[in-house]
Amino acid sequence: MNERLQTLIRAALREDRVDRDVTTLASVPAGHRSRARIIAKAAGVLSGTRAADAVFRLVDSSLTLAWEATDGDRVRPKDVVLRIEGSTSSILRAERVALNFLMRLSGIATEAARYVEATGASGTEILDTRKTTPGLRLLEKEAVRHGGGTNHRADLASMALLKENHLAAAGGILPAVAACRERFPGIPVEVEVVDFEGLQTAIESGADRIMLDNFTNEEIASAVERTRATGSRVYLEASGGFDLARVRAVAPLGVNGISIGALTHSVRSLDLSLLLEDAAI
């Protein structure tokens, strides 16, 4: 378990006051032991096993954990994901935090898989964004990968993404790209464009990637045609207002990627549950 993950898990456990679980302290006899299992209650793609495993081990390192599914696996209702054996008190105190990680991250992986499937055989990548839960970005982006998606930039330092406010402050696309190249050579540069004039300028700037922001389907098709007609192989990313139906329509048009903020900012968690199998083992 790396230090960053351990810090995150410890903070979640402190938030839930697992050291002062009044229900368990009052109702579960000291020394009581059980077997338990986590099962899927809906179909989806699993993610978050690393975090959930860490939760149980930090609460009680003596617990025995046997994973029957791993990140990226597809699960169906009633599938057993994890079997646990040990202190009943420890299992119950860790339950909610472990499930919170597992359910949210599996929800993201499941949604990513749905969007990836919608691209068919086009080869178009489904990209995430930085619209993530504070503190959970690395885990949420990992979940996107478990669903077959592709990570966009991880943070503000890993890529320059010139959007309208940056372009306005810098005086336009050409000086903005030039400034990024001069200040941070070797860092990829992406330019957001909102029309064909901006697209042409972005191509001329030598940017590594171009984001077609809120282009219609017809405009996206034209943008791909115009870009490739210049001989440019620049990475073209479509962004803004995509659902599954629109992904199916746009993916065959030739863009390299489609970014979906909803993968992380408004996803529905996958339903999972922990059940005690027996007691006093």
Residue 192 a catalytic site member: yes
Q: Which one from 83, 96, 137, 181 is the annotated catalytic residue?
A: 96
Whether residue 25 is found in the same domain as residue 87: yes
Q: Is 131 among the catalytic positions? A: yes
pLDDT at 279 over 60: no
pLDDT of residue 278: 72
Domain that holds residue 248: 121-265
Is residue 1 predicted with pLDDT exceeding 90?
no
Considering the domain architecture, whether residues 54 and 184 belong to the same structural domain is answered as: no
Task: Examine the domain organization and report whether 8 and 128 are in the same domain.
Answer: no
Say how many domains are in the chain: 2
Taking 60 as the threshold, does the pLDDT of residue 12 lie above it?
yes
Q: Which helix (H) or strand (E) holds 219?
A: helix 217-229
Do 136 and 37 lie in one domain? The reply is no
Greatest Cα-to-Cα distance within the chain, rounded to the nearest angstrom: 74
272 and 259 assigned to the same domain: no
Which one of the listed residues 131, 137, 246, 248 is annotated catalytic? 131
- In the annotation, is 78 catalytic? no
Residue 76 sits in a domain whose CATH number is: 3.90.1170.20
Segment 73-83 shows an average pLDDT of 98
Give catalytic status of residue 141 as yes or no.
Answer: no
Question: Using alpha carbons only, what angle is made at residue 186 by residues 182 and 187, rounded to the nearest 5 degrees?
Answer: 90
What's the predicted TM-score (pTM) here?
0.95
274 and 260 part of one domain: no
Is 183 in the active site?
no
Say whether both 201 and 105 belong to one domain. Answer: no
Same-domain status, 60 and 91? yes
Residue 172: which CATH number? 3.20.20.70
Q: 99 and 166: one domain? A: no
Is 2's pLDDT higher than 80? yes
**Tens of pLDDT along 27-37?**
999 999 999 99
Q: Which of 163, 181, 246, 248 is catalytic?
A: 163
Candidates 142, 192, 209, 237; catalytic one: 192
- pLDDT single digits (tens) 215-225: 999 999 999 99
pLDDT at position 113: 98
- The C-alpha atoms of residue 120 and residue 226 are separated, in whole angstroms, by 24
Judged by DSSP in three states, 273 sits in strand
280 has a pLDDT exceeding 70: no
Would you say residue 118 has pLDDT above 70? yes
